[in-house]
Structure 1
């Protein structure tokens, strides 16, 4: 990762999903920030609960998540989580900031909705990382800036069930003009399945028994994110030089 100038600040917005504990993402946020700091970047982490934390009524959270996923599928703006995150960012945005989004579960849907709205408004988005997210349509302007991570438990080969929800599909025309369903029409370009001890809630565990091949789940998740961010930055540097 290239070291950024002191005038630039990277703000990482980490968004939680359904009924999440208030401190659930703290260690993950600190570990990701440490990667940037070691590279010489100025970084700030903001953890947001777009549907509320586990103290909020779960039925209301589910209704709002369902609404946001439906609106995403029908290319309509978010009424809840994505809207909440967009407002939080625009209320605190300063010149020179660069934004990175990381969402877990339904929080990753809110991240996509907010990032898409902000990019349309001309605000720089470095990237969006979706972790254990339901499938949701990725706007064309974001497709090359999104990393989608899901998990499989290497002990029993069980997949995280939440990514089975939703769809990336859409109708396309064949060369003969016939409509057909394409399962990956709105999928992110970058997708990876991680070895993950445990299940959907365990991507950020940093202790026994959440260890596979000498790496904790948290380290596996962080390493995958950092490797992708490094490759992403190199790609855009090369693109700028070509232009």
Structure 2
């Protein structure tokens, strides 16, 4: 679905995690595109399975996911999911399209790796949305363009377990020139805990059981993404306004 306006076009790449059903992300992508179109944004969405869908060997998927997460954490070149996402976007995205990368679970690790590669090549990254993602180090240049969404059951207070794998931590220089562990040194600036019914596989559910305070899980996720994008655009426009008055 595409809608033409005067606003810069946006391409949304939605990346799936481990052993995901082939149509698992379809409704989410459709609802998000419809919401952005409603707000006057020219947008299209592409769904990608960086580690394969549930038909592919689960053992191979786990090996590739673990390798990408470990190598990215230790600042080594990754070999699997993120490379594939970046390759797809290079082939698919037009030069004038802003890129919004949205990943669920391990797909969020691949999305972050791809965003880092593409930004280094001069592409405009509108944002990286990590949904139920393992914790992985966010490069300093991307920390302000990443939104991390973690689900928590509003009644039981049980949190999604997957975001507690991995780490954002790193060594930092403290007073008296000593090194200490900073647990959020490489964390994204924007982190949201979102009330959701269910667990890790249920962020995009739209059925009756997955509803809290008149909103389904899917509606809640789409709403929080839209509000974050809107806030970022307002902040960018505000900064541009002051820059124009300063003549810089």
Q: Which TM bucket (shorter chain)?
A: over 0.9
Gaps of 5+ in 1: none
Does the residue aligned with 2:91 lie in a helix, a strand or coil? helix
Name the residue aligned to 2:34: 34
Q: Does 1:117 align with 2:122?
A: no
Question: C-alpha distance in 1, partners of 2:185/2:79?
Answer: 24
User: What TM-score does the superposition give when structure 1 sets the normalisation length?
Assistant: 0.96
CA deviation profile, 1:176-221 (whole Å, cap 9, x unmatched)? 1100000000000000111110100000000110011111000111
Q: Does 1:194 align with 2:194?
A: yes
Does the residue aligned with 1:159 lie in a helix, a strand or coil? coil
How far residue 24 of structure 1 moved from its aligned partner, in angstroms, is 0.2
Does the residue aligned with 2:171 lie in a helix, a strand or coil? strand
Of 78-87 and 6-15, deviating more is 6-15
Contact 2:102 2:131 in 1 (8 A): yes
How far residue 175 of structure 1 moved from its aligned partner, in angstroms, is 2.5
Gaps of 5+ in 2: 244-248
Contact 1:7 1:96 in 2 (8 A): no
Q: CA RMSD in A?
A: 1.4
How far residue 7 of structure 1 moved from its aligned partner, in angstroms, is 7.2
Q: 1:187 to 1:165 in 2, by over 3 A?
A: same
Contact 1:131 1:150 in 2 (8 A): yes
Write the mapping of 1:1-243 to structure 2, written as runs, cut at 5 A: 5-6=5-6, 8-243=8-243
Question: C-alpha distance in 2, partners of 1:50/1:102?
Answer: 12
Question: C-alpha distance in 2, partners of 1:229/1:28?
Answer: 16
How far residue 117 of structure 1 moved from its aligned partner, in angstroms, is 0.7
Question: C-alpha distance in 2, partners of 1:122/1:13?
Answer: 17
Contact 1:198 1:210 in 2 (8 A): yes
How far residue 157 of structure 1 moved from its aligned partner, in angstroms, is 1.4
